[in-house]
Chains A and B, each alone.
Chain A
Amino acid sequence: MIEVTSVTKKYGRKKVLSGVSFTADKGQISCLIGINGVGKSTIMKAIMGLTPIQGGRILIDGQPIDKHLYEKVAFIPDTIIMPPQMTIGEALLFMKDFYARWNEGRAEELLSFFKLNRDDRISDLSKGNAAKTNMLLGLALDVDYLLMDEPFSGIDMFSREQIANVFTSHLIEDRGVLITTHEIHDIEHLIDKAVLLDRGTVLKEFLTEELRLSEGKSVVDVMREVYQT
């Protein structure tokens, strides 16, 4: 379980997160929802130890982030983070070199699933293919938790569909997935948990199926209630 407890974060004098708390469980898809600039990416970076926090605590299966956990949690940022002059093949080799949990069979499978070409240079990829390569580099790690920042934003419809198919496949089975989005429509029925954020705080955290069962409300219904009052 990823536990985020009362996390505060400031950039200079500007408070970006003011007491954010939520959990993301293994075997579930949790989704941080909020408009751009509410601190979704900052939360992701904080979980990965890529930016310091000023208060609160973040634990992954009871442990604070350290180098060993990078074999347990993978982060897929919203842009590809491999050097542009690398080819896809070289990027895969780099990952294989550095991660004990790199699953080569899965990487091959994803390469053909996404129809990507090993010899293509990263700088030459279309936005959709860059996003898929970025996904591949995270998904081919045998990690327990996957963090994905805005996996659907800024790419064409067909790439979106392909990436959405990842969420209905064995690729994420039994893993804990935490994604951020500012656009819930495409994936509303895919997520197990929704965490609604606004201006650095969590407004509501709920399991989507439970809420549908008990109150007959969709995620969008809840968002309407929460954000418009």
Chain B
Amino acid sequence: MKVTFNNRDPVYLQVVRYFKQEIATGRLQAGQEIPSRRELAGALHINPNTAQKAYKEMEEQGLIRTEGNSPSRITTDERVLSSLREELILDAVHTFVSSIKTIDVPVDELLHIVKEVYAKERSKE
């Protein structure tokens, strides 16, 4: 587990985003057990309060479930999981769009370029 934090976004939200990415890309499976708050704090080198806050946020968003004293698990709720993927894609697209729109490129041309660059990048992997 390795996250590089920036100092301008709330650390707990960066932790939540990290979990979303891990889930969306399948590195964390539905129903999989996740580390305790204490372990997470140690692994990510964050303050235990921040880990606690991140878990609370994820619970509120329905990303994880905690029953009684057993360890927290990733949700098995399909709706939440699929919306996650959408959310991440939309987030990235929004970021992209907001930076590209200053250049004022026609959409068709833009899409064409995106396709080419994306294909090239993927072929490298």
Closest to B12 in A: A209
Closest to B14 in A: A189
Closest to A220 in B: B7
Contact among B7, B9, B38, B44 with A188 in the assembled complex (CB-CB below 8 Å): B7
Contacts of B18 in A (CB 8 A): none
Contact across chains for A213 and B10 when beta carbons are under 8 A apart: yes
Secondary structure at the B interface, as helix, strand, loop or mixed, is helix
Closest to A171 in B: B48
Contact string against A for B residues 37-52, beta-carbon threshold 8 Å, 1 for contact and 0 otherwise:
0100110111111100
Contact among A170, A172, A190, A221 with B46 in the assembled complex (CB-CB below 8 Å): A190
C-alpha gap A173/B11 in the complex (Å):
18
Contacts of B6 in A (CB 8 A): 218
Q: Is the interface on chain B under 10, 10 to 19, 20 to 34, or 35 or more residues?
A: 20 to 34
List residues 47-88 of chain B with CB under 8 A from any CB of chain A: 47-50, 53
Number of interface residues of A (CB under 8 A): 25
C-alpha gap A49/B61 in the complex (Å):
46
Contact across chains for B10 and A209 when beta carbons are under 8 A apart: yes
List residues 13-28 of chain B with CB under 8 A from any CB of chain A: 13
Contacts of A172 in B (CB 8 A): 48
Contact across chains for B7 and A170 when beta carbons are under 8 A apart: no
Contacts of B5 in A (CB 8 A): 189
Contacts of A229 in B (CB 8 A): none
Closest to A177 in B: B47
For B7, B46, B53, which residue has the most chain A Cβ atoms within 10 angstroms? B7
Contact string against B for A residues 3-46, beta-carbon threshold 8 Å, 1 for contact and 0 otherwise:
00000000000000000000000011100000000000000000
CB distance from A60 to the nearest CB of B (A): 20
List residues 165-218 of chain A with CB under 8 A from any CB of chain B: 165, 167-170, 172-173, 188-192, 209, 212-213, 216-218
Contact across chains for B41 and A28 when beta carbons are under 8 A apart: no
C-alpha gap A229/B5 in the complex (Å):
28
Contact among A28, A170, A191, A217 with B8 in the assembled complex (CB-CB below 8 Å): A217
Closest to A174 in B: B48
C-alpha gap A220/B7 in the complex (Å):
8
29 A-B pairs (CB sep. < 8 Å): A27-B49, A29-B47, A164-B45, A165-B45, A167-B47, A168-B44, A168-B45, A168-B48, A169-B41, A169-B42, A173-B38, A189-B7, A189-B47, A190-B46, A190-B47, A191-B47, A192-B49, A209-B11, A209-B50, A209-B53, A212-B8, A212-B9, A213-B10, A213-B13, A217-B8, A218-B7, A220-B7, A221-B7, A221-B8
- B-side residues, CB < 8 A to A, are 5-13, 38, 41-42, 44-50, 53
* The 9 residue pairs across chains A and B that have the minimum distance between CB atoms: A218-B7, A212-B10, A209-B10, A168-B41, A213-B10, A218-B8, A173-B48, A190-B47, A189-B11
